[in-house]
Amino acid sequence: MMNELSVIIPCVSTSETLPRCIDGLARYLMENPSDTDLIVVTNPSASSPEQILEYVHTKYPWLKLTMLQRSGKDVSFGALTRFGVAHSGSRYAVIVSPYGEDDLSIIPAMLRKIRGGAQVVQATRYATPADARKVSPLFRSYQYIYRFLTRILLGVNITDSTYGFKMFDRAFVQALGLTQNGYSICPEITLKAVLAGGKVEYIPSTASLSPLNKDFKLYRDGLGYLWLLVRGFGHRMGILWF
């Protein structure tokens, strides 16, 4: 039987924060435990994934958990996310950071919106001035530029497409074809849904700063973000398929 929701947790570097992340998730998933599963994807360098399984089975026996550990060399956030989504059989999926940045309390609200017909429900850190102030000034400036370019090149106004915390219709998004291996998979999901005519809803969210998350590198991932806008502009002009 198909679950309603898969929670995809990509662990690029450390998996030590997973117990705390799962503790937080459990508080909001108990409303509908039989219809939810967790899919944790780790790199080969992650240590002792069996300890996470034992922790969950002992503390949350009702929680369905799949631990996936890639073989070969370590890969980035997007590759781990795609791997987790490919293993999901649920109707919907939500991407959650293992580092504690995301406001997990909005998951039930995201689920209500997606049940209402949205293809993507995007958490946004810039809906209110108070939430925006919790983002570093330097990163806010990058976001402003990206929003401006999105408006110019794609003709759409999206407040926070690059935030990875989002829920989506799994089959719809997979049919669009996810290709990005880095953090650029985050705007890829939202931008492709918009350009395909999907319904995208937004939920205000407060993101916490986490010193544990050192995986994002602007010099590397920023190029992927810009490439998405170029591809999206080509799609809008009818030059190529995004």
> CATH assignment of 5-236, given 3.30.1360.20, 2.130.10.10, 3.30.565.10, 3.90.550.10?
3.90.550.10
- Residue 128 is predicted with a pLDDT of 85
pLDDT at residue 218 in the model: 67
CA distance 194 to 146: 16
Model pLDDT, residue 15? 73
Give CA–CA dist 136/237, Å, rounded.
35
Residues 107, 28 contacting (CB under 8 angstroms) = yes
Whether pTM exceeds 0.85: yes
Averaged over successive runs of 10 residues, the pLDDT of the chain (242 residues) comes to 90 83 88 83 79 88 89 88 96 94 93 96 90 83 91 92 95 94 94 94 84 64 89 87 66
DSSP state of 186: H
In whole angstroms, give the CA distance from residue 126 to residue 39. Answer: 28
Q: What is the pLDDT of residue 85?
A: 97
